[in-house]
């Protein structure tokens, strides 16, 4: 099976579980190709957890789910050392983050201190316990779900953590005909998740990730991305713009989208397509902008419209 066919098989596999959300499955595949993490935000009951489970089973990697609650401690996430009386030495007990695909379910129900325990894991792909570093098995991807922050019992994620999520996506309610299909699926005892089998191996995934990094980007497009993110750092409605980490994430997402479309080069549409998912959650609006009803997505759209799209010469 050709590499692009394997990606389509992965997207199709996830789409069998979360009906009518192929676009969300494509975004998760994009992040997987870039070794990125994804924050999925929406109201309860729209399939966020099922989406994460379907990705894990379709890729065939180890999976662990962390149910975040106010009483979850940082040591539950990172692990801890304990003195072993039989061996006469301290030994490390694995934390919940020690898996290849980790679902951080309802991450914003945990305290900010516990949320922050994931920072090193997301960036360095390791955890440090009592001064010693432990590597997380590769490939590693964190899928975090959160309910909207205005729901009861939730805490906003710190900006430093939001910046480490490559993409933020929303699942949304299904259409009426799609919801009828969901009801018919639940009339029998079998779940769509139970029928999933891996369509990729870890070795094949590593090959795909390496190929994505080889997708070329013309200098004019690199400048185009820099112009867009630079405009966010001095915008009158924003108190915090896009960091260099966000610029890199946008470039990598554009490469992945181009690769998924069967191209070896990035075009401007790849960049503009991914801007809302890669950049919007990294922005911090000023209070006046929030009161005026402005949104990060609308501000980004205005910035993009003001930056001229470069004209690329044909090779």
Ordered by where they begin, the domains of the chain are: 3-69+100-109+138-188+198-206 (3.40.50.300), 214-306 (1.10.8.80)
Is-contact 107 122, C-beta < 8 A? no
Strand partners, 39: 144, 168
At 49-95, the pLDDT tens digits run 788 888 888 888 888 889 888 888 889 899 888 877 777 778 888 88
Half-sphere exposure of 90 (CA within 13 A, CB side): 9
Q: What is the DSSP string of 23-87?
A: HHHHHHHHHHHTT--EEEE--TTSSHHHHHHHHHHHHT--EEEEE--TT--HHHHHEEEEEETTT
Residues of the chain scoring pLDDT < 70: 1-3, 46, 149-153, 188-194, 313-315
Enter the tokens of residue 163: 């910046």
Cα distances (Å, whole numbers) of residue 165 to 12, 14, 112, 115, 224: 24, 21, 16, 13, 22
Summarize pLDDT for 5-31 with one digit per residue, the tens: 888 888 888 888 778 788 888 999 999
Query: Which residues, at least 6 apart from 187, have a Cβ–Cβ distance to it below 8 Å?
Result: none
Q: How far, in Å, CA of 81 to CA of 90, rounded?
A: 6
Q: Report how far apart, in Å, the C-alpha atoms of 31 and of each of 13, 39, 193, 230, 251 are.
A: 16, 11, 21, 23, 12
pLDDT at 150: 55
Q: Six-digit token pair at 112?
A: 């900010």
Q: What is the structure's pLDDT at 191?
A: 66
Residue 307 has a pLDDT of 92
> What pLDDT, on a 0 to 100 scale, did the predictor assign at position 274?
96
This prediction's pTM: 0.89
């Amino acid at each position: 099976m050709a590499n692009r066919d394997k990606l389509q098989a992965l997207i199709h596999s996830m789409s069998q579980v979360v009906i009518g959300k192929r676009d969300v499955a494509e975004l998760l595949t994009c992040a997987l190709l870039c070794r990125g993490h994804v924050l999925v935000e929406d109201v309860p009951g729209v399939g966020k957890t099922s989406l994460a489970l379907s990705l894990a089973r379709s890729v065939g990697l180890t999976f662990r789910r962390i149910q975040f609650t106010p009483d979850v401690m940082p040591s539950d996430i990172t692990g801890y050392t304990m003195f072993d009386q039989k061996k006469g030495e301290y030994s490390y007990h694995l934390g919940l983050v020690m898996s290849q695909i980790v679902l951080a379910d309802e991450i914003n129900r945990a305290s900010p201190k516990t949320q922050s325990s994931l920072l090193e894991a997301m960036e360095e792909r390791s955890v440090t316990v009592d001064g010693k570093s432990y590597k997380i098995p590769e490939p590693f991807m964190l899928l975090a779900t959160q309910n909207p922050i205005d729901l009861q019992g939730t805490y906003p994620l710190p900006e430093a953590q939001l910046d480490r999520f490559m993409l933020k996506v929303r699942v949304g309610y299904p259409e009426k005909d799609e919801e009828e299909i969901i009801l018919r699926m639940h009339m029998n005892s079998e779940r769509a998740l139970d029928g999933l089998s891996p369509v990729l191996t870890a070795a094949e995934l590593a090959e795909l990730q390496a190929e994505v990094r080889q997708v070329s980007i013309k200098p004019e497009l690199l400048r185009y991305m820099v112009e867009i993110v630079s405009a966010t750092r001095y915008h009158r409605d924003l108190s915090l713009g896009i960091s260099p980490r966000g610029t890199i994430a946008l470039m990598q997402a554009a490469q992945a989208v181009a690769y998924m479309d069967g191209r070896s080069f990035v075009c401007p549409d790849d960049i503009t397509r991914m801007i809302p998912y890669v950049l919007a959650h990294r922005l911090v609006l000023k209070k006046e902008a929030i009161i005026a009803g402005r949104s990060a997505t609308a501000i980004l759209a205005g910035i993009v419209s003001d930056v001229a799209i470069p004209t690329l010469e044909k090779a």
